[in-house]
A and B are shown apart, each in its own frame.
Chain A
Amino acid sequence: MSWSSRRRLIPPLLLTVVALLQIVLARTANLTAWKGGGFGMFATLDHGAYRGVDIVVDAPDRSESLEIPPSLEIAAARAAAFPVDWLMRDLAEGVAARERRYERAVSRVTVTAWRADFDRATLRASERPLRTFVYDVP
């Protein structure tokens, strides 16, 4: 097979490799099926609308649950879509930096990623934690 013939295989092969990798990550590391190039969109309720992260900030004189601020929405969406250490750490570091900017004490940030499960019969939804990451602020 000539190089000219072989190179037409590159895009389909790339698609296949990325899609298989996405399936592996979805099955082993909670990557949402809708993202990552595996073509799992419109296949499951496990997507951005039914995933989220809860943030709790601790300090010697406070323990407070925070709403996601607009400046950290993308970091939160990334951590919810793929709750792995580096993305949860990115979010936690962003939260800690923001708290310091506002001169609020922070010694620990706890990030919990969750998804919604829908009952097969009643369709009632409930949150199920996927992963919790604790960041001790240096």
Chain B
Amino acid sequence: MRSDRPLRSSTWSLPAAAVASADPSVETVDRPIQAPTSGAAYFDAALRLSAIALLLRPMGSWLVRPAILAIAVLVLISPRLLRSPLMWGALAGLTAIRIAEDWPLADNHIYLLGYWLLAVALSLRASDALGTIAFASRWLVGLAFAFAVLWKAVLSPDFIDGRFFRVTLLTDPRFGAMAQLIGGLSREELDANREALALMPDGAELLDPPVIHEPPRLAMLAKASTFGILALEAAVALLMLAPAVRIQVWWRHAALLLFCGITYAFAPVAGFGWLLLAMGLAQLEPRQIWLGRAYVAGFVVVLFYGELPWAELLVEWWR
């Protein structure tokens, strides 16, 4: 059961080991990091990861960026501000301005970030902060994935027939290493395919069009990516939106962690991955220690995915 105690900043206290004392006569106990004993620990961890994500991927123009970065720093260093609905409300407002300032160019995870920051601000004013944030987090993740599945399975004919991944693997430089590593294309074949897929003006046709080289491994990769990602997203949506009495809650987290572990190895949107992981962490109960560790580890793994060109390094090594 979650606590009904409101999470006001006044009720927050630092663990003894974390309090640095200026007086050498005062003993501080050097304790190892303890497993969380309350859901509030995961709640705080989720808020801190959200603030770290804001710092790792600064967003917006000069109008909002400095303020977002400053608030993210402040909530990280001040336990009182970490629990301040005003701070998180301000972040939600600044995110809304960032979306509006060049609408419709903001990516979808910026919208999700805005809803999440609003949910945090509202939960910090609720009598049951932990229950409120867990509820909002579960529904936000579930609905985002449900709409993603709707677009892929119903509204976009070029996804379900495989065209999206066939073209993306060949033309998007961010997926080039994957096409070589798993799809079996050589660098030369990849370059030739990109040239062959260059855009033609409306109605124009080449007399002798170049042939697009799609080896069976690449076709299989495109098919597996198409149906694999669809199945995984559908699983996350269903598990998040299904009532807890009907499913093992553990499966929700397993599906979300699996999605982040696979998707962000290739998709170049670490910010989305961090946000989902912070939102997953906010749903945990105190006893779910291993899941808590898995979410934090996932956050670090996505960081490495984003900063380390692991697929390109593997392609080089493979040659």
Contacts and interface: CB of A to CB of B under 8 A. Distances in A.
B38 interface: no
A10 to B, nearest CB: 6
Given A39-B144, A45-B167, A120-B163, A74 B105 contact: yes
A125 B199 contact: yes
Instruction: State the 9 A-B residue pairs at the shortest beta-carbon distance, nearest first.
Output: A40-B151, A37-B111, A44-B156, A12-B139, A43-B151, A39-B147, A11-B119, A11-B115, A35-B104
Given A15-B115, A33-B151, A125-B200, 14 more contacts: A8-B132, A8-B136, A10-B122, A11-B116, A14-B115, A35-B108, A36-B104, A41-B108, A45-B168, A118-B167, A123-B197, A127-B200, A127-B201, A129-B202
Interface of B: 99, 102-108, 111-112, 115-116, 118-119, 122-123, 125-128, 132, 135-136, 139-140, 143-145, 147-148, 150-152, 155-156, 158-159, 161, 163-164, 166-168, 170-172, 197-204, 209, 212, 229, 267
23 contacts: A8-B119, A8-B126, A15-B112, A23-B155, A32-B104, A35-B107, A40-B147, A40-B148, A40-B151, A42-B229, A42-B267, A43-B159, A44-B151, A44-B164, A45-B158, A45-B167, A116-B199, A118-B163, A118-B167, A120-B163, A123-B170, A125-B167, A129-B202
Given A44-B156, A118-B167, A124 B209 contact: yes
Given A15-B115, A123-B166, A126-B203, A44 B158 contact: yes
Contacts of A77: 105
A38 B150 CA distance: 10
B105 A4 contact: no
Interface in A118-138: 118, 120, 122-129
Interface in A68-106: 74, 77-78, 81-82
Contacts of B166: 123
A43 B155 contact: yes
Contacts of A42: 148, 152, 164, 229, 267
Nearest to A7: B122
A38 B198 contact: no
B152 A43 contact: yes
Interface string A8-30: 10111011101100010011000
A31 interface: yes
Contact of B107 (A18, A19, A23, A41): A41
Nearest to A26: B155
Nearest to A8: B132
A52 to B, nearest CB: 9
Contacts of B167: 45, 118, 123, 125
A38 to B, nearest CB: 6
A15 B198 contact: no
Contacts of B135: 8
Contacts of B201: 126-127
A4 B112 CA distance: 22
Contacts of A123: 163, 166-167, 170, 197, 212
A66 interface: no
Contacts of B106: 35, 37
A76 B108 CA distance: 20
A43 B152 CA distance: 5
Nearest to A52: B199
Contacts of A114: 202
A4 to B, nearest CB: 5
A49 interface: yes
Contacts of A124: 197, 200, 209, 212
A40 B105 contact: no
Contacts of B267: 42
A11 B140 contact: yes
Given A7-B122, A44-B159, A49-B172, A15 B105 contact: no
A23 B122 CA distance: 27
